[in-house]
Chain A
Amino acid sequence: MSKKKKQNLKRWIPCYLMALPCVVYFFINNYMPMVGLQIAFKNFNVRDGIWGSKFIGFENFKYLFASKDAWIITRNTIGYNLFWIILNTALGIMIAIFLNEVKSKMAKKVYQTFILLPYLISMVVVSYLAYAFLSEQTGFINGILNALGLPSVMWYQKANYWPFILTIVYEWKNIGFNAIIFLASLVGISKDYYEAAEMDGATKWQQIRKITIPMLTPTIVMLVTIGMGNIFRSDFGLFYQVPRNQGLLNAATNTIDTYVFRALLQTGDIGMSSAASFYQAAVCLVTILLFNGVMKKFSEENAMF
């Protein structure tokens, strides 16, 4: 080892030491359990244990593709996620900019809190809130419709309403968190740029397009990459609790997580549930690598890794 390298190493030792707790944590918590991934390929049996159970190849994965639901669950999971990643980013930026323009500090705090609040509510509670709106007998919306002399709508019996309902519920719940992250980056943008732009006579819209968005790009890329990393997972509560497990809504609300839940509820097969997670993780890994690769090609400085 050259002298310079040695010196370098010495210089970085405190940093490595500081990273050590995290490394240990991740090793214990995230890497050691990976030994258990083999369960996905085994006919797991309590008596024989993880190592002793019989190896059966891809047998455990088959049920994921066994019914005609396979296409629906893949389409729903990926479709909703892709659409929501885009919508969440666009709406998040919009709200962050609005919030940033609010002059009164007090009002800003109040708005922020209100927008973030739904993010902290459990999905089960959200499902009852949605039910209060959509109930066929006593729902708020049907109440208004009836008062206007219109017939009730059976929300829980037609799948075609649900892409919209789910999107509204999802955005209502999650938009606050994204907006706060964007707002945090917005606050960090130096006022000088905007002052200079104003001097040159730029309109608000031009300022947003030419200053705000480019400055936000790293945050956007980060959030989208994280979103891509979860593209093959769905929020179980949103898809199971909010539609209240109604079979008629299947075409719009069945995702891989709800499918697996329904399929394995009775048998509790550990091998098959591991297989589902393994499959999800593998697809997510591929998408995240693909997305990062594409980013690297088009704008290297913005790629995550």
Chain B
Amino acid sequence: MKKNKLISMLLCGAMLVSLLAGCGTGGQDSGSDSNSNKSNVSNENDANQGGEDSDGGDTYELVIELMTFGPEPADMEKVEAAISEITKEKIGATVKFLPISVADHFTRVNLLTAGGEKVDLVMAGITGDPATFYGNGVLTDITDLLPEYAPNIVEEMGDLLGAATFGGGVYAVPGVKYPGEQLNLLYNKEMAEEYGIEIPESLNSYEEWDAFFAQAYSKLPEDIRVFTLGDGSGSVTLNWDSRYDSLGDTSRLAYGVLADVESGTELVNWYETEKYKTMLNKRREWYEKGYIVPDSLSSGYTTLDCMSARTCFSFQNAFKADCNEVTLGRNCGGVELGYIPLGEAIISGSSTTMMSWGVPITSEKPEKAVEFLSLLFENSELANLCNFGIEGEHYVKQSERIITYPEGVDASNTGWGGFINWFGDNKTVYQLTPNTEEYYDQLKVYSMGEALVSNALGYTFDTTGVKTQIAAVTSVIDTMKPMLECGVADVETELPNFINALKEAGIDEIIAENQRQFNEWLNQRQ
């Protein structure tokens, strides 16, 4: 009897120990892969530092977020080492990348900083914008650091820095110096030639659009549609005649927009405007006539998916410094694209902060992070390394500034690629083929002085006071907007429903608050 008891107690003890042991390893695992990588590398660095210390060097390890499409680049450590060599000499810091998948980016960045993990630079755009990160308290104020550690950025960016200024402090640095955005209609060149579709020079009225689409529809075979609106996200929400500024809201949800970009001061509810209604009616008409890929909304195919499946002739997209017909063609599975420009390029707050860099509050030496950014815009060798990896291994030069993949390597198997971040000054950085030197001439179109600058550049809506309404309105927009803009829903019945739902969710209060802040900002500016 006694023996039995003893055994049972022993068993209990064993279970408890194994459980706790399980807890321990579990905890470490949940610290995520990046953690274990980090500790490995920091060990290496410690070893390096040991050597350095004898020279009196004191290096800091910069942790930089790398926004990936999924798996981390295979040669990350190699590239890090090459980058660190430069940075160690110039700013006394080594570089360590922290790969985060674009799908997790927004949550991970919030949680990393909430958990106190050290990160020195994060992408503050793409998913989420600097304003939201600022509101969540993720970013640190770098106003005072910029003039001291990055005078070149202050000088060259000038007004652009205003786009990431909140409450008088600068919280992010635009990652691209040429932030204009220009809408284009892109079409499949091969199809145009094969079926003899005439391409107009411009599309400046709905009559021209109708004529073009009707012509293309009559010439294309039955299983190829003229136009696609994809899953209703991204540039699809824009239109040739609606160049509004969404005031720092990168996802174009439009909580009050500046419809007159150039000189307007009044914010309007975009969804109530006549232009919006006309656009919806037109798209509905095209949908019913069979011009538009009909099931892309329910199948979830994006515009690029439809183009690479070659079930569609044209789509619209915005060109930026890091996105033109060449890059888009590459993303469409190698389709050769032609384009028709739809109006001039615009610089707005949201286009400026799209690729911006922020320094999180968990950075131990924000000044080093800022120094790195400064170096990035100055030193093209460093920027090229970050963007394209090591010469001879990840790319080979074709001419002065144009590079290509080495033999046997392409975008799918390169050891350094598959991320979204952009590093440095586009003007001095290489470009991948089939881009040509022309690319550098195009850049001018997107730069300050050349592009149309929004009257609200530098103003960002602080949504803290109307969070409840924003959440409710966002939910309404997310459910109703795509189906309306893709022409799937009947405009006559659904648009009033949409507007009513928005009003009930409190869009008017949001716009009023937005207008109040905007007026204040305008007064301060004068």
Residues of A that sit less than 8 Å from B by CB: 14, 17-18, 20-21, 24-25, 28, 45-49, 59, 62-63, 66-69, 131, 135-137, 156-157, 244-248, 250, 254, 259, 262-270, 272
B15 on the interface (CB 8 Å rule)? yes
B390 on the interface (CB 8 Å rule)? no
Docked pose: A68 CA to B132 CA in angstroms: 26
Q: Is the CB of A246 within 8 A of B478?
A: no
A-B contact pairs, 19 of them (CB 8 A): A18-B15, A21-B15, A25-B19, A45-B137, A48-B137, A66-B506, A69-B472, A69-B475, A131-B298, A135-B298, A246-B297, A247-B489, A248-B483, A250-B479, A263-B475, A267-B467, A268-B106, A268-B110, A270-B114
Number of cross-chain contacts by CB at 8 Å: 146
Q: Is the CB of A137 within 8 A of B294?
A: yes
Question: 6 closest pairs, A vs B, by CB?
Answer: A47-B137, A45-B137, A263-B471, A66-B472, A63-B471, A67-B505
In the complex, the chain B residue whose C-beta lies closest to that of A137 is B295
B411 on the interface (CB 8 Å rule)? no
Docked pose: A47 CA to B114 CA in angstroms: 8
Docked pose: A263 CA to B476 CA in angstroms: 8
Min Cβ gap B6→A in Å is 10
Select one of B15, B106, B251, B475 contacting A67, CB under 8 A: B475
Interface code B62-76, partner A: CB below 8 Å = 1, 0 otherwise?
A: 000000000000000
Min Cβ gap B151→A in Å is 28
Select one of B468, B474, B478 contacting A59, CB under 8 A: B468
Docked pose: A251 CA to B474 CA in angstroms: 17
Docked pose: A49 CA to B297 CA in angstroms: 40
Docked pose: A136 CA to B107 CA in angstroms: 35
Q: Is the CB of A267 within 8 A of B138?
A: no
Q: Is the CB of B110 within 8 A of A46?
A: yes
> What chain B residues lie within 8 Å of A21 (beta carbons)?
12, 15-16, 19
Interface code B1-43, partner A: CB below 8 Å = 1, 0 otherwise?
A: 0000100110111011001100100000000000000000000
Min Cβ gap A45→B in Å is 4
Q: Please indicate which of the listed interface residues B298, B299, B472, B505 has the most CB atoms of chain A within 10 Å of its own CB.
A: B298
Min Cβ gap A46→B in Å is 4
Given known contacts A67-B476, A245-B300, A247-B482, what 9 new A-B pairs fall within 8 Å (CB)? Answer: A14-B5, A14-B8, A46-B113, A62-B468, A69-B501, A135-B298, A136-B298, A244-B299, A264-B471
Q: Please indicate which of the listed interface residues B5, B9, B128, B483 has the most CB atoms of chain A within 10 Å of its own CB.
A: B483
Docked pose: A268 CA to B113 CA in angstroms: 14
Docked pose: A116 CA to B20 CA in angstroms: 34
- Quick one: given A14-B5, A66-B505, A244-B300, are A28 and B137 in contact (CB under 8 Å)? no
B470 on the interface (CB 8 Å rule)? yes
Contact residues of B between 106 and 128, Cβ < 8 Å to A: 106-107, 110, 113-114, 128
> What chain A residues lie within 8 Å of B13 (beta carbons)?
17
- Quick one: given A46-B136, A267-B470, are A24 and B19 in contact (CB under 8 Å)? yes
> What chain B residues lie within 8 Å of A272 (beta carbons)?
467, 471
Docked pose: A131 CA to B106 CA in angstroms: 29
Contact residues of B between 349 and 385, Cβ < 8 Å to A: 361
Docked pose: A101 CA to B478 CA in angstroms: 50
> What chain B residues lie within 8 Å of A47 (beta carbons)?
137, 361
Min Cβ gap B483→A in Å is 4
B480 on the interface (CB 8 Å rule)? yes
B316 on the interface (CB 8 Å rule)? no
In the complex, the chain A residue whose C-beta lies closest to that of B361 is A47
> What chain A residues lie within 8 Å of B210 (beta carbons)?
none
Q: Is the CB of A263 within 8 A of B479?
A: no
Min Cβ gap A234→B in Å is 15
In the complex, the chain B residue whose C-beta lies closest to that of A59 is B468
Q: Is the CB of B471 within 8 A of A267?
A: yes
B45 on the interface (CB 8 Å rule)? no
Docked pose: A28 CA to B489 CA in angstroms: 50
Min Cβ gap A176→B in Å is 28
B504 on the interface (CB 8 Å rule)? yes
Docked pose: A45 CA to B467 CA in angstroms: 14
Docked pose: A47 CA to B138 CA in angstroms: 7
> What chain A residues lie within 8 Å of B427 (beta carbons)?
none
Q: Is the CB of B299 within 8 A of A135?
A: yes
Q: Please indicate which of the listed interface residues B136, B463, B506 has the most CB atoms of chain A within 10 Å of its own CB.
A: B136
Q: Is the CB of B478 within 8 A of A265?
A: yes
Interface code B239-260, partner A: CB below 8 Å = 1, 0 otherwise?
A: 0000000000001010000000
Q: Is the CB of A268 within 8 A of B132?
A: yes
Q: Is the CB of B298 within 8 A of A156?
A: yes
> What chain B residues lie within 8 Å of A269 (beta carbons)?
136, 467, 471
Q: Is the CB of B501 within 8 A of A68?
A: yes
